[in-house]
């Protein structure tokens, strides 16, 4: 099985069949986690580099563990200590890593499209670990898998994304993945944080959270960046909490058995109340665990293409 592609830049470019391939591939990797030896030889002799232009603990660690469990050699490039501070441009940085025979480059960048630019200039597989406000495809896939694992299907499910849709690459990747698989996706947030033309992606828009939660099977709460307040996108954290925090009371308006997700890191007491985050409805820790298995699957599924490039 293969995704028949070199890079994973965004879920926009995948189709339903690709997504099903990913979903079907995760389980064997996840089953490793409960064994005493959590390692497979899949990527032995391969070099994986993480190139992170933005701070990240969760995603980078998740990729690192995923690569290690596949027996790859992994190197982390932290950007504040690299030659980027000396003015090296993105393509040259990528070419340098490729000259060191990196097979996979996992890039996180604060600007949209940076992985695309890298991918078309390199032979290595480029995996987007989040680029600006564009996409975070592995997060989208792990969210998709987490839902699939619980519900055994995606088609027909009602999924609500809450918060800062405008600046959320997680929302974008979720929307692509879920709508392509036949789910009904809606978003809720203040109009200032809803991006232009989002309805054209097949998404329903709510401004009132109380209204939006009623029908949802799954509620995915997005992190709110506090600095958005300075851009006048909402007047105060207090008002945001009042209007959009997912609380026990709001949860009571939703279907019983509604599942709660959050890509992390959470602002407890801001976009989500602690009791909801810690409730039995929450899948937040499962998302993290699944993240590793999904990333292993992605490293595996992009690999066959690399064989053609002539290693081993």
Partner 1 sequence: MRVQIKNIRIIDPSQAKDLIGDIFIEDGKIVSKPLGSPDKIIDGKLKIAVPGLIDVHAHLRVPGNEGKETIYTGTHSAAKGGITTVFCMPNTNPVVDNAPTVEFILLKAQKEGLINVFPIGCATKGSQGVELSEIGVLKKAGIIAVSDDGKPISNAQIMRRTLEYTKMFKLPVISHSEDKELSKNGVMNEGENSTILGLKGIPKQAEEVMVSRDIMLAELTGGHLHIAHVSTAGSVDLIRQAKNKGIKVTAETCPHYFTLTDDIVKIYDANTKMNPPLREQKDIDAIKQGLADGIIDCIATDHAPHTDEEKNVEFDLAPFGIIGFETMLSLVLNELVDKGVLSLSDAIAKMTFNPARIFGLKGRGALKDESIADITIIDPKYFYEFKKENIVSKSKNSPFIGRKFKGGAVMTIVAGAVVWQA
Give residues in contact with partner 1 (CB under 8 A). Answer: 12, 89-91, 109, 111-114, 116-117, 120, 131-135, 169, 172, 195-198, 200-201
Q: Are 3 and 22 in contact (CB under 8 A)?
A: yes
**Which of 172, 217, 166 is closest to 190 using CA atoms?**
166
Which residues share a beta bridge with 50? 76, 106
CB nearer partner 1, residue 9 or residue 70: 9
CB of 214 to partner 1, least distance (A): 26
**Nearest-10 crossing angle of helices 58-69, 137-151:** 70
CB nearer partner 1, residue 69 or residue 134: 134
- 3-class secondary structure, 283: coil
CB of 196 to partner 1, least distance (A): 5
CB nearer partner 1, residue 72 or residue 94: 94
Element (H, E) at 140: helix 137-151
Rounded CA-CA distance 221/224 in Å is: 9
CB nearer partner 1, residue 198 or residue 299: 198
CB of 136 to partner 1, least distance (A): 10
Q: Are 132 and 111 in contact (CB under 8 A)?
A: yes
CB of 224 to partner 1, least distance (A): 17
CB nearer partner 1, residue 195 or residue 291: 195
CB nearer partner 1, residue 46 or residue 169: 169
Q: What is the DSSP letter of 255?
A: P
CB of 135 to partner 1, least distance (A): 7
Rounded CA-CA distance 50/55 in Å is: 12
CB of 51 to partner 1, least distance (A): 13
Q: Are 180 and 203 in contact (CB under 8 A)?
A: no
CB of 111 to partner 1, least distance (A): 4
Backbone torsions φ then ψ of 185, nearest 5 degrees? -110, 135
19-23's contacts with Cβ under 8 Å and 24+ in sequence apart are: 19/141, 19/144, 19/177, 19/180, 19/181, 20/181, 21/301, 22/141, 22/144, 22/145, 22/294, 22/297, 22/298, 22/301, 23/144, 23/145, 23/148
CB nearer partner 1, residue 162 or residue 194: 194
CB of 10 to partner 1, least distance (A): 9
CB nearer partner 1, residue 131 or residue 143: 131
Which residues share a beta bridge with 219? 160, 260
């Amino acid at each position: 099985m293969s995704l028949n592609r070199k890079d994973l830049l965004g879920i926009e470019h995948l189709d339903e069949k690709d997504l099903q391939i990913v979903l079907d591939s995760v389980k064997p990797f996840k089953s490793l986690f409960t064994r005493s030896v959590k390692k497979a030889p899949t990527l032995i002799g391969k070099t994986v580099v993480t190139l992170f232009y933005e701070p990240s603990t969760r995603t980078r660690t998740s990729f690192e563990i995923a690569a290690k469990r596949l027996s790859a050699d992994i190197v982390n490039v932290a950007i504040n200590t690299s030659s980027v501070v000396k003015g090296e441009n993105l393509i040259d940085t990528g070419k340098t890593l490729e000259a060191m025979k990196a097979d996979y480059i996992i890039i996180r960048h604060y600007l949209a499209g940076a992985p695309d630019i890298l991918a078309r200039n390199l032979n290595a597989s480029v995996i987007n670990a989040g680029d600006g406000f564009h996409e975070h495809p592995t997060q989208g896939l792990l969210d998709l898998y987490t839902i699939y694992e619980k519900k055994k299907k995606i088609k027909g499910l009602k999924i609500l994304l809450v918060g800062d849709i405008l600046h959320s690459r997680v929302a974008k990747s979720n929307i692509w993945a879920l709508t392509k698989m036949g789910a009904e996706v809606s978003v809720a947030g203040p109009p200032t944080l809803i991006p232009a033309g989002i309805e054209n992606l097949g998404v329903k828009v709510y401004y009132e959270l109380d209204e939006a939660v009623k029908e949802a099977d799954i509620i995915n709460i997005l992190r709110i960046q506090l600095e958005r307040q300075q851009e006048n996108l909402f007047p105060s954290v207090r008002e945001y909490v009042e209007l959009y925090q997912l609380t026990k009371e709001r949860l009571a308006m939703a279907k019983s058995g509604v599942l709660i997700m959050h890509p992390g890191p959470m602002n407890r007491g801001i976009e989500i109340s602690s009791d909801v985050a810690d409730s039995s409805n929450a899948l937040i820790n499962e998302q993290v665990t699944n993240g590793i298995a999904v990333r292993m699957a992605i490293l595996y599924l992009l690999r066959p293409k690399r064989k053609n490039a002539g290693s081993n």
